[in-house]
Amino acid sequence: MVSQSQSKKPSFRSILGLSALVFFMSDVRDGVGPFLAIYLKSTLNWDTQKTGIALASMSIAAAIMQLPSGLLVDSTKFKRFILALSAVLISLGCFIILAFPSLLNVILAQSTIGVASAVIPPSIAAITIGLVGRKAFPKRVSINETWNHTGNLFTALTAGVLGQYLGHHWILYVVGIFSLMSILSILFINPEEIDHSAARELAPNNDKNNPNGKPEPILKLLKQKSILIFSVSIILFHLANAAQLPLVGQLLAKQNPNIDALFMAGSIILAQFVMIGVAYAVGFLMNSFGRKPIFLIAFLILPIRAILYTLTTNPILLLAIQLLDGIGAGIFGVIAIVIVSDLTQGTGRFNFFQGLVALCTGLGAALSNLIAGSIVKAWGYNTGFLSLSLLSVVGLIFFWIFMPETKDDNISKKDSSSPAQDSHKKSSSIG
């Protein structure tokens, strides 16, 4: 049996709403993002360790909420509502940072942003696959990421210019404006066109009167070796990656305080230009070359980038190095979601595993900022970057040796005990 989302194309209005939602949520989903390091360093004169605690608080809160968020998105049909509520809470968090900038209040605000942001990625992915179906999902993920990076590009340019010439507090105002636009975009998506069984990768059975079946037990799913390997790989990737751009921003804020906001905007803008092209290209390449070789390229970028940061403090050269981040992040944004879909096909746990991956991302990012911030305070920026480079090499080797290819049926050869295999074979004829 073919699900509705695989046999019927969504309306132009819903696709337009989805694209606009991804565009505007690109700013809202992470709150102030890397600009917060500049705001805390330049405007509030916080030291590196204190800034690292503030950055890590969002990641820790988001990590705690990832699994509950995935289960919520899997089980609810009110995906549009929880997206709108998340946008409102993130705007509230930014207002708290702006109005009450003590350490305790900033941690509270960042925690609020972290809780709300945990719901956004699985909700968008679930709505996407629920609208277009599994067969069209990998290509649509590529398109989503293209819109996401385009939104990041626009936001970085706007926040950088406004932050430089009107004050760093305008960076937070931009989040509020994009939050409102995100909510308006959600209204364009027709909820009747979302197949909620497809949205959680739940395979239909042969009974037309009972098309939803039952989701795989969570504990049984977690016994799949490939899921555990991929989860560890995600932690290692973000452990090596998350702190790199904030550290560069803080380094520039220390040495060139008059151009820190413009530099951060330039770093993000250049990387986003690269990400737009990479994300779109990955949509074509991953079906020809598989998922694993492309993800290995993203891993390989990390140590190269970290080492290059130690060789110069020239703002122009640092901007050039930041182009490498566009390649790695552009690949990760597409491939990670598609691998999650591969590993959970037919299990009904797509968004739960997205939550698990996001949990690993948050843990890696939190540890990255905490560890790198402490190392930099004790031994300097170069030691911090070299430490991140070493961690990235460990991640690269681990993923290369242990992670199997997930495209087609290759995963079943590596992990015959996977609880998803029977449903994967059954559903391969569907899409």
Mean pLDDT for 179-192 is 91
Q: Give the confidence band of 376 by pLDDT, cuts at 50, 70, 90.
A: confident
Q: How far apart are CA 286 and CA 293, in angstroms?
A: 9
pLDDT at residue 232 greater than cutoff 90: yes
Q: What single string gives the DSSP state of each residue in 81-131?
A: HHHHHHHHHHHHHHHHHHH--SHHHHHHHHHHHHHHHTTHHHHHHHHHHHH
Interval 307-329: pLDDT, tens: 998 898 787 788 788 888 889 88
Which residues have CB under 8 Å from 381's CB, separation 6+?
Answer: 247, 251, 309, 310
Report the amino acid identity of residue 65: M
Give percent of the chain with pLDDT exceeding 90.
Answer: 26
Considering only CA atoms, which of 189, 186, 199, 190 is closest in space to residue 84? Answer: 186
DSSP string, 344-369: HTBBS-HHHHHHHHHHHHHHHHHHHH
Q: Regarding predicted confidence, which is higher, 426 or 94? A: 94
How much is the mean pLDDT over the chain?
81
- Tokens representing residue 72 in the block: 């919520």
Range with the lowest mean pLDDT among 34-38, 399-403, 418-422?
Answer: 418-422
- Give me the pLDDT at residue 8, please: 58
For the cut 80, the answer to whether the pLDDT of residue 419 exceeds it is no
Q: For residue 264, name the pLDDT band (cuts at 50, 70, 90).
A: low
Predicted model pTM: 0.77
Decide: 186 and 84 in contact? Cβ < 8 Å: yes
Is residue 256 scored above 90 in pLDDT?
no
Q: How far apart are CA 134 and CA 129, in angstroms?
A: 6
Task: With both helix axes pointing from N to C terminus, report the angle between 170-186 and 79-99 in degrees, rounded to the nearest 10.
Answer: 170
Contact 431, 133 (CB under 8 A): yes
Is residue 109 very low, low, confident or very high in pLDDT (cuts 50, 70, 90)?
confident
∠ at Cα 112 (253, 196), nearest 5°? 120
pLDDT band at 104 (very low <50, low <70, confident <90, very high): confident
Buried b or exposed e, range 153-181, using 16+ CB within 10 angstroms: bbbbebbbebbbeeebbbbbbbbbebbeb
Task: Tell me what pLDDT residue 213 has.
Answer: 66
